[in-house]
Amino acid sequence: MNHRLFLFDLDDTLLDFRASERRSFARTIEALGLDGAVRNPDALFADYQNINLVLWKAFELGTVSKDFLKVERFRKAFAAHGIACDPHAASALYLEALADTVVLIDGAAQLCQTLAAIGEVGIVTNGVQQIQSRRIASSGLAPHIAFVATSEACGFAKPDVRFFEYATRMASRFNHAETVIVGDRLDADILGANRFGIDSCWFNPDGAPNTSQAVPSCEAARLQDVIPALRALITA
């Protein structure tokens, strides 16, 4: 393996964000005293997810701020269901719950431990810095992580090249040929790698087709497949 700097997306790559998101949302609704008042909790959660996805894409394009996103997703979801509740309070409760509902994707700990012995492992995430730091600590991955780069601290989000420049400055050693990012997002992780000129491994557990302009260097359906996929790049 030629790589010595391994950049990992966090959510839905190392941590099962979908599982954490559902648990955190349910805790938030309960803490707000809405669990008995919401007629269709599944529909509310589904609408929240759709609204959240649109807002995150807008954030990555630089058209909305992170602080706006965190509150607006609840405001819109509540409004769509006629719920009179403070979206600021919901946002605060949700972020607090998110830090305590960490679920590791199978193979994450072993992969990070193995790669940390080969080189340096860094986290590159568009998530909220304080929350992501707490989630990493709760996950047990922290001993294997050399640094955490967040869009909140950087001021730019993946796939912006400026985010990758910021992240790689945190590494003890960097050159393009020895760096790879592993992530599930074609439009953020893989496209960002393409623009920055580094290798990428698309984590694609669902076997989704690639209909985007992003071109991964390799692909893995399981985290256990990442190292073999990276090794295969040498002979490709």
Distance CA 20, CA 101 (A): 5
Cβ atoms of 67 and 88 closer than 8 Å: no
Residue 211: CB atoms within 10 Å: 7
Is 9 annotated as catalytic?
yes
First to last CA, the chain: 12
Residue 54: CB atoms within 10 Å: 15
Residue 229: CB atoms within 10 Å: 20
* C-alpha torsion sign, points 69, 18, 182, 141: positive
- Tell me which residues are annotated as active site: 9
